[in-house]
């Protein structure tokens, strides 16, 4: 595999920092430049080896970039991508790492400088512990990364994007931005909403009598408020559909319990148990990573 020249990461948090760390430790790029708003945080990211150098001025950071990765919250991504596209070399590949895709891709494609250099990307990895302090080089290894090229995306950019994520150890999947958002509403945004609703339902004084079910079921509710507010707003339609499906399942159990229908409760649980068992098998391929 050929080494990349300069890779510029805009937003050196959990995802951006982990990608920087992986690019450096595996020598996939000659130079990794970090762009952020907080100079002190950037200095620490350099000290910790997440990036080689840093700047608070995006135009400076992307000036000689071969690849630019925008790893900011979803509501800032379109602006950050277009600003980078306007200042980066004409042949730079610009990608994001946002949890939603349709609105981002639409906004970038409406911009003349964004359109010809952008491939939407979503590496499906993360943690309720955000921030560069939790970055680790192996975060993406074995994970799926969804690319969302459109009819307008130059084929050569898609090839370069695919190679970039594959070199980081991710399993690359291509989907339309709309399909991505519908699937992720169910596989990620709904589980986050459910975890938070569960955390809200248990009176605080009773928490001391909770066991693993409540702890695991609410883990991701510890995630950043602004980040998730932006994701929920950005993916409203699909999220509402997913919430509706979920509400139907809860209502079905409630009715079965209310009518003390043993067979209905058993069938409901058994179907859930089978789906959960399938999920466990899919998430743990033989010899695969966590």
Is residue 46 a contact residue for a second copy (CB under 8 A)?
A: no
- Contacts of a second copy in 137-176 (CB under 8 A): 143-144, 146, 173
Q: Which stretch binds a second copy (CB under 8 A): 17-25, 34-42, 123-131, 151-159?
A: 123-131
DSSP strands (E only) in 14-108: 29-35, 53-55, 65-70, 93-96
**CB 24, min distance to a second copy, A:** 24
- Tokens representing residue 142 in the block: 């074995």
Is residue 286 a contact residue for a second copy (CB under 8 A)?
A: no
Is residue 2 a contact residue for a second copy (CB under 8 A)?
A: no
Q: Which stretch binds a second copy (CB under 8 A): 22-30, 76-84, 102-110, 189-197?
A: 189-197
**CA–CA distance from 281 to each of 274, 276, 287 (Å)?**
11, 9, 12
Figure out which of the listed residues 275, 286, 287, 288 binds a second copy, where binding follows CB under 8 A.
275
**CB 14, min distance to a second copy, A:** 13
Cα 133–Cα 138–Cα 142 angle in degrees, nearest 5: 140
- Contacts of a second copy in 215-234 (CB under 8 A): 215-223, 225-226, 228-229, 232-233
Is residue 211 a contact residue for a second copy (CB under 8 A)?
A: yes
Compare residues 46 and 268 and give the one whose CB is closer to a second copy: 268
Compare residues 83 and 103 and give the one whose CB is closer to a second copy: 103
**CB 266, min distance to a second copy, A:** 5
Compare residues 105 and 146 and give the one whose CB is closer to a second copy: 146
**CB 76, min distance to a second copy, A:** 15
How far is C-alpha 150 from the chain's CA centre?
19
CA–CA dist 60, 188 (Å, integer): 35
Residue with tokens 């079905």: 252
CA–CA dist 156, 175 (Å, integer): 17
**CB 216, min distance to a second copy, A:** 5
Compare residues 40 and 263 and give the one whose CB is closer to a second copy: 263
* Site map 75..114 versus a second copy, x via CB under 8 A: ----------------------------------------
CA–CA dist 183, 238 (Å, integer): 8
How far is C-alpha 161 from the chain's CA centre?
16
Q: Sign (positive/negative) of CA torsion 261, 264, 265, 266? A: positive
Q: In what order do the strands lie in the sheet with 121-123?
A: 121-123, 144-147, 171-174
Figure out which of the listed residues 91, 277, 288, 289 binds a second copy, where binding follows CB under 8 A.
277
CA–CA dist 1, 167 (Å, integer): 8
Q: Sign (positive/negative) of CA torsion 10, 11, 13, 14? A: negative
């Amino acid at each position: 595999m050929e080494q990349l020249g300069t890779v510029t990461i805009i937003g050196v948090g959990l995802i951006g920092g982990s990608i920087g760390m992986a690019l450096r430790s595996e020598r996939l790029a000659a130079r990794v430049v970090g762009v952020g708003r907080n100079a002190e945080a950037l200095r620490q990211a350099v000290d910790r080896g997440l990036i080689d150098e840093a700047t608070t001025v995006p135009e400076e950071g992307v000036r000689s970039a071969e690849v630019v990765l925008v790893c900011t919250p979803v509501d800032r991504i379109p602006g950050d991508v277009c600003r980078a596209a306007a200042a980066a070399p004409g042949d730079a590949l610009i990608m994001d790492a946002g949890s939603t895709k349709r609105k981002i891709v639409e906004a970038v494609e409406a911009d003349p400088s964004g359109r010809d250099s952008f491939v939407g990307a979503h590496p499906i990895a993360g943690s309720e512990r955000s921030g560069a302090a939790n970055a680790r080089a192996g975060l993406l290894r074995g994970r799926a990364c969804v690319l969302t090229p459109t009819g307008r995306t130059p084929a050569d950019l898609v090839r370069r994007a695919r190679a970039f994520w594959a070199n980081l150890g991710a399993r690359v999947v291509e989907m339309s931005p709309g399909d991505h958002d519908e699937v992720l509403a169910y596989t990620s945004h709904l589980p986050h909403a459910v975890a938070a609703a569960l955390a809200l339902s248990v009176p605080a004084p009773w928490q001391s009598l909770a066991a693993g079910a409540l702890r695991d079921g609410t883990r991701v509710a510890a995630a950043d408020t602004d980040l998730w507010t932006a994701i929920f707003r950005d993916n409203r339609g699909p999220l509402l559909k997913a919430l509706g499906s979920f509400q139907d399942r809860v209502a079905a159990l409630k009715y079965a319990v209310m009518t003390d229908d043993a067979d209905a409760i058993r069938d409901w649980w058994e179907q859930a148990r089978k789906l959960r068992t399938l999920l466990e098998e899919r998430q743990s391929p033989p010899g695969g990573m966590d």
